Amino acid sequence: MLIKLSKKDMHTCTVLGNDTVKICEMQGFPPRLENKNQTREEANIEGYKGEFAVARLFDLDEPTFNITSDFGADLWWNDSSIDVKTTKTKDLIFDSMEKFKSDIAVLARPTDQPDVIEVGKWISRIEFEHKHHLHDYGYGERLVMKYNELRDIESLWKQMKIKTLSPRN
């Protein structure tokens, strides 16, 4: 599903992405990612765009700025934590199961339009733990699920509504 972010959202993502890097630098931490294709600021801005797109799609609270860490939870849907992974690839990748701390991971992807994000697929932590496979991208083995192995984003809405609204016996 394609989500168009507002000018305000785009501005907020830019500010949050740049502030995150600046705070790290002020604390003496080197940026976690620098490569010839993308600066750490650009990567953070893209990450916030993915988080805002998921928040807008499901009417969730906006992501917040975290100085130390978000501890693996970008968004919350009632008591369920969501880690939004924004990437240009179609693979959902985690370094380890210890790094997958949320209840749910959502895969988001930038598009050719800077203000449009594709919110594609999702998976629960439990399902990922049982279905992932290992892949080495050249910097050690990672836990991976391919795009077509993940669940359609519409089913997340349905599952969360059932969890929230169904009568309890």
User: In this structure, what token pair is assigned to residue 66?
Assistant: 């975290």
CA 35/CA 124 separation, integer angstroms:
30
Q: Could you tell me if 97 and 105 are in contact, meaning their C-beta atoms sit under 8 angstroms apart?
A: no
pLDDT in tens, the chain (169 residues): 999 999 999 999 999 999 888 887 887 776 666 566 788 889 889 999 999 999 999 999 998 766 555 657 899 999 999 999 999 988 999 999 999 999 999 999 999 999 999 999 999 999 999 999 999 988 899 999 999 999 999 999 999 999 888 887 4
The confidence score (pLDDT) of residue 26 equals 81
Q: Could you tell me if 106 and 122 are in contact, meaning their C-beta atoms sit under 8 angstroms apart?
A: yes
The confidence score (pLDDT) of residue 163 equals 86
CA 12/CA 23 separation, integer angstroms:
16
The confidence score (pLDDT) of residue 63 equals 87
The confidence score (pLDDT) of residue 39 equals 84
CA 17/CA 112 separation, integer angstroms:
19
Instruction: Note the pTM of the prediction, 2 decimals.
Output: 0.90
The confidence score (pLDDT) of residue 65 equals 66
